[in-house]
Structure 1
Amino acid sequence: MSVSASVIRDFLSAIHPYDTFATDELTQVAGCFRSLTIPKGEIIYQLGARLDGLYVIYDGQVQVEGPDGEIVSSLRAKNTFGERGLLREGYAVTSARALDDVTVLLLPAFDFQALMEGHPPFNLFFTRNRSSLPTPRQNTLANMRVEQLMASSPIGCSPEASVGEAARILRDHRISSLVVTEEGRLVGLLTLRDITNRVVAAGLGHDTRVADVMSPDPYTLPPTAIGSDVLHLMMERGIGHVPIANGDQVVGIVTQTNLTRVQAENSALLVRDIAQAQTIEQMAATTARIPQLLVHLVGAGNRHEVVTRLITDIADSTTRRLLAMAEEKLGPPPVPYLWLACGSQGRQEQAGVSDQDNCLMLDDAATEDDDAYFKALAEFVCDGLDACGYVYCPGDMMATNPKWRQTISVWRSYFKGWINTPDPMAQMLASVMFDLRPIGGDERLFDKVQAETLKFASRNSIFVAHMVSNSIKHAPPLGLLRGFATLRSGEHKNQIDLKHNGVVPVVDLGRVSALKGEITAVNTRARLVAAQAKGIISTSGGQDLIDAYDLIAETRLSHQARLIRSGKTPDNFMSPTVLSEFERSHLRDAFVVVRTMQSAAGGGRGLLG
């Protein structure tokens, strides 16, 4: 089927990034495309072939296949394919096959490159290498978006309500202002200062109407405003409350308290408050501020590895303070010990949802009688962590479990046994323990253990093969029809799990890469970068995987920050519908990269390719 240039133009106008072109530009771009009809079952291009250009599906369905013929994506009308190869020296990194009679629009490679160089929105859409982005600005009031500062869904009252009723609302909600609305429209603002100056000081009764003492038609700002707009308005007008409104519909409010809280919520201050805490209750009050810290860090544009590192630092400080408090209570330890974290804390990847995973390594001089001390120490620390929001590990992977509170000799035997007999349980335990990171105590106890274990494990081909197999069990949420495979039932129906189907597959690939290269880093991104430098992962494949991981991890953090801002508990389950078509397209591409790298790892070629 031949498609005319005018039809191509109209078709592209509804697809991003072509909708960013001016009308005359789009007409010119559409003229660069040519339509091709591909019969059912025919190969459009093979892995490693020189690409003719960028493909956009006009009609029909295309199946994208990995190196071993495995399905990595099934695409329909308006979907694009071939761009990854064009960005990687022009050679296909997957294969593409027509599932039925397909009409595609082909933008020649030369024209694709010209648009990449001459049209920034087009370049932004197809460029996934986020490492070249400028360093984020510091988290300051001046450059934060208003939506990161405001309290959402502000409490309000009617202008006909009495001042007494309004005062009770202020008291019950522990707030300093009320938005006054009539039929959903903002008509005024009532603050505690208004009640003090205009009611109490004026000798008016508590039955006075709010309409008579409120500030009518208050100054507002739109959600597109930034922190400096709020500061300037407050300074210029001498006010302490600024409603945020879309037209006359209030969506939030920014107060001086909000601004003060932003200044107070940085990781260094939280670490300081934890270090100075004298009770577990004081520590819990500090860690309760972590969700807002996450919101501010994400809102300021910090990269995901910065956000998770800063949040993990707080968990580390909390653990060390609890260890110090335990020693103050129990006395000095009978032998040297080392407290280690595994899981997300071990990898320095904690986000808005975290349980605790930890263990104790004891000097070989420890006796059975000494265990009473370390049992009490473990219970004190784990109970304290739970009180601070780091809930008990559902799998009992904690130092309170005697199995995970052992001497160095026993730990060596654990690792040796798991490596020599890599059954499913051994693989799971090894996966957890390869993420160990010292937190408090004598770190010398771990140095040789880690190096010896990595060396021993990397030389056992059967164990490595089992770990590779284990690393591809978590599949990215790619569906054959709509781009994403969402959960089919339960509380999170029609959502995707950004942890187990998003970041975990990359975490597993990073762990296997570290194992093969005897890399001591435990942070996933650091592992991938080191593996790429050592040739464990190819340059192009490694960069693709790092870019994909960056996008998935940042999508997860943005999702959690969005929940926190709306007053909800952060989780890892996101509906794809909250994303724009632009965001969905890139997230789908990231999942395709992960699946392709999993296929490479599981296909006997390792991660090279």
Structure 2
Amino acid sequence: MGSDPATVLAFLEGIHPYDTLPPAALAEVAGAMQRRSLPPGAAAYRFGEALDGLFLVERGQVEITDANGAPVSILGPRNSFGERGLMRDGHAATTARALGAATVLMLPAARFRRLVDDSPAFARFFTRGAAARPDGGSATAGRGGPPGRGATLATLRVAELVTRAPISCAPATSVAEAARAMRDAHVSSLGVTDGDGRLVGIVTQRDLSDRVLAEGRDPAVAVEAVMTRDPVTLPREALGSDVLSLMLGRGVGHLPVTEAGRFVGMVTQTDLTRFQAVTAGVLIHDIGAAGDVAALAQATGRIPALLVQLVGASQSHEVVTRLITDVADAVTRRLVALAEARLGPAPVPYVWAACGSQGRQEQTGHTDQDNCLIFDDAATADDRRWFEALAQEVCTGLDACGYVFCPGEMMAMTPRWCQPLAVWQGYFRGWIARPDPMAQMLASVMFDLRPIAGDRRLFDALQAETLAAASQNTIFTAHMIANSLKHAPPLGLLRGFATIRSGEHRHQIDMKLNGVVPVTDLARVYALLARIPAVNTRARLVAAEGRGVLSVAGGRDLVAAYDLIADQRLAMQAALVRSGRKPDNFLAPSDLSEFERSHLRDAFVVVRTMQSALGHGRVAAT
């Protein structure tokens, strides 16, 4: 069926990313669009069919289902569909049917691909903001170079140097009140703002010393009498090199940051020093030299700043979480060494292993501890008491350093998880032979074990035996697959998110439990099926594709989805730290732009589709 280009053009003008196209290009696209009327239940396309092009709902609703007929979403006017198949191999990755009568617009495949090639904004929207990596995955757009390479102080944006929420006072505030405000907030300057939040001046501790105390002025004098008026400022988008240039050129130690004239933060010489001092390497060096738990806690207290710095340097999530986990590993090893120095040498060989996010090398700014202790079967009753004391000291030390006790008590200080190798072998054999719900949960956690300190040969023997036995037991594998489907991505049918309905986090989504955990669970099953020894989620996904457990297309889609979800989680945590709050895992979709919401939802759709495929036994074919 034909279409009226003028009507289509008016429709497209208010839809992203069409609104980014030049007028001539947009008019050409409108002219190329084909209008199709779908009666109730009619399919625009079915799974596996060659796609004619990209579809856009003009009127009515369209239901999207996956390869197994499971509903993915219900789309309404202005929503696109079909792009995933077009960006892969040109064949439909889902089925699209009209719910009631519907009208859709179709942009022919060749015209769509030409737009992707010619328009960066259009391409970013329909490729989920991703750029291909050599390993077949994808990375979020805007990353600053290859993994391991971060921004220098000169190239970092000013917004990433601002370490806390702005602290200000009114012009009429007395200098005594200003001094108390600086003392209480542990800062050396205040922005002076008018009633609209616009910056009119700055007052520093030096101003109070030179212009008040040294001059014998009354502490009740107003700040506006001693402040520096109309100070030089920088926008959030400025670079660290601009900060360095202004501080050196003007001899100042404080630079206000403004946005549309409003005061949004302060960069100080202390911030620059802190940036240079907070790197994973520096923290690990300080941890290695720490003589007690207090010194270790002082070092781990700088982890939030490290998180902000790494995210601000556009590092990918796997680099950020690996470096943060490296710090946790260093703390664990140092605590083990301090405990051994007090308790004496170990009576028999042992290995301290981490599970959970530390085991997978995926720690963020918000984590607890999950660990266990495996020791040689030759241990006597007296030897066991030595290991119990070791576990108590290390776990207590980790808690003092910010790695809080595991709510589920999955820690070496819990007697069940401090046992000789033979007991651990019995644990895994029992879980595999009798995969009840508790066994599934425990096996899921323990399959993420990674040795941290001690004799890793004990761990290697346990892992090799366990992977072989588990992969050969089809009943256990089936239970593990079922367990991996328990955490669903937070998708609402009406093109939105299924947010938390009540409580402290109402209208938010849990980016851990419903974001990264579903992918982590999938990757663990793939690793089990292919006997992959890696425990890192991304490494498991890439290895699963390499071994044929995942198809190339399915593997790349899932890695891309995981990258986007994990990057968004870290960006959210870094933003919380910059605002002076503790990082957590809860994200309000309303805090994201329409572009970000669209791509995050697309990533969740990929995860749900892969869960459905695994649940229906369609893994490698996906």
TM superposition score normalised by structure 1: 0.97
Alignment of 1:281-292 (within 5 A): 281-292=294-305
Q: Which runs of 5+ in 1 are unaligned?
A: none
Q: Determine the structure 1 residue equivalent to 2:531.
A: 518
Give ranges in structure 2 of 5+ residues lacking alignment: 134-138, 140-144
Residue of structure 2 in register with 1:124 after alignment = 124
SS at match of 2:534: coil
String of CA shifts for 1:233-258, please: whole Å, max 9, x gaps.
22222211111112332111111111
Equivalent positions of 1:530-569 (< 5 A) are: 530-569=543-582
Shift of the 489–2 alpha-carbon distance from structure 1 to 2, 3 Å rule, reads farther
**In 2, are the aligned partners of 1:295 and 1:561 still within 8 Å (CA)?**
yes
Distance 1:322 1:109, change over 3 A: same
Q: In the alignment, which residue of structure 2 is the partner of 1:258?
A: 271
2:154 counterpart of 1:142: yes
SS of 1:506's partner is: helix
8 Å CA contact retained: 2:165, 2:580: no
AA at the equivalent of 1:485 = A
Compared with structure 1, are the counterparts of its residues 2 and 94 closer, same or farther at alpha carbon in structure 2 (3 Å cutoff)?
same
- CA distance in structure 1 between the aligned counterparts of 2:378 and 2:151, rounded to whole angstroms: 48
Give the SS at the match of 1:274: helix
C-alpha deviation, 1:158, in angstroms:
2.7
Q: Which amino acid aligns with 1:90?
A: G
* Cα offset, 1:540, TM superposition: 0.5
Match of 2:136 in 1: none
Question: Aligned partner of 2:131: which letter?
Answer: R
Matching residue of 1:370? 383
Partner of 2:102: 102
430-439 vs 121-130, greater mean Cα deviation: 121-130
Change in 2 beyond 3 A, CA 1:231/1:344:
same
Asked if 1 retains the 8 angstrom alpha-carbon contact of 2:488 and 2:514, the reply is yes
SS of the residue corresponding to residue 179 of structure 1 reads strand
Equivalent residue for 1:468, pick from 474, 481, 485: 481
The answer (yes or no) to whether the contact 1:418–1:426 under 8 Å persists in 2 is yes
Q: CA deviation at 1:2?
A: 6.7
CA distance in 1, matches of 2:165, 2:450: 41
Q: Displacement of 1:152 after TM fit?
A: 4.2
Find the residue that maps to 1:130 and give its secondary structure.
strand
Distance 1:17 1:104 in 2: 17
Would you say the 8 A contact 1:601–1:607 is kept in 2? no
CA distance in 2 between counterparts of 1:13 and 1:563 reads 35
Q: Which residue of 2 aligns with 1:7?
A: 7
Equivalence for 1:212 = 225
Report the secondary structure of 1:552's partner residue. helix
Q: CA shift at 1:131, angstroms?
A: 3.8
How many residues are matched?
Answer: 609
Alignment-derived partner of residue 464 in structure 2: 451
What is the match of residue 22 of structure 1? Answer: 22
Paired residue type of 2:20 = T
Tell me how far apart the structure 1 counterparts of residues 394 and 400 of structure 2 sit (CA, whole Å).
Answer: 10
Q: C-alpha root-mean-square deviation of aligned residues, in Å? A: 1.5
Paired with 1:607 and 1:284, the residues of 2 have a C-alpha distance of 46
Classify the secondary structure of the residue corresponding to 2:438: helix
- Separation in 1, partners of 2:174, 2:117: 63
Q: CA offset at residue 140 of structure 1?
A: 1.7
Match of 2:73 in 1: 73
Instruction: Tell whether the 8 Å contact from 1:158 to 1:180 is kept in structure 2 after alignment.
Output: yes
1-10 or 445-454: which moved more? Answer: 1-10
Check conservation: 2:548, 2:620, Cα contact below 8 A: no
Q: Using the alignment, how far apart are the partners of 2:169 and 2:619 within structure 1?
A: 64
- 1 CA distance for matches of 2:357 and 2:620? 23
Percent identity between matched residues is: 59
Query: Contact between 2:3 and 2:33, CA under 8 Å: does it hold in 1?
Result: no
Which deviates further from its counterpart, 432-441 or 561-570? 561-570
Deviations 1:279-322 (A, max 9, x none): 11111111111111111111110000000000001110010000
* Structure 2 Cα separation of the partners of residues 238 and 34 of structure 1: 64
1:311 to 312, 324, 337: 324
Aligned residue for 2:371? 358
Measure the CA separation in 2 of the matches of 1:332 and 1:313. 25
Are the counterparts in 2 of residues 74 and 483 from structure 1 also a CA contact under 8 Å? no
Over 3 Å counting, the alpha-carbon distance change for 1:294 and 1:280 in structure 2 is same
Equivalent residue number for residue 190 of structure 2: 178
1:334 aligned residue: 347
Looking at structure 2, the residues matched to 158 and 48 of structure 1 have their Cα atoms a distance apart, in angstroms, of 65
Question: Which position in structure 1 is the counterpart of 2:606?
Answer: 593
Moved more, 188-197 or 83-92: 188-197
Structure-1 separation of matches of 2:566 and 2:221: 53
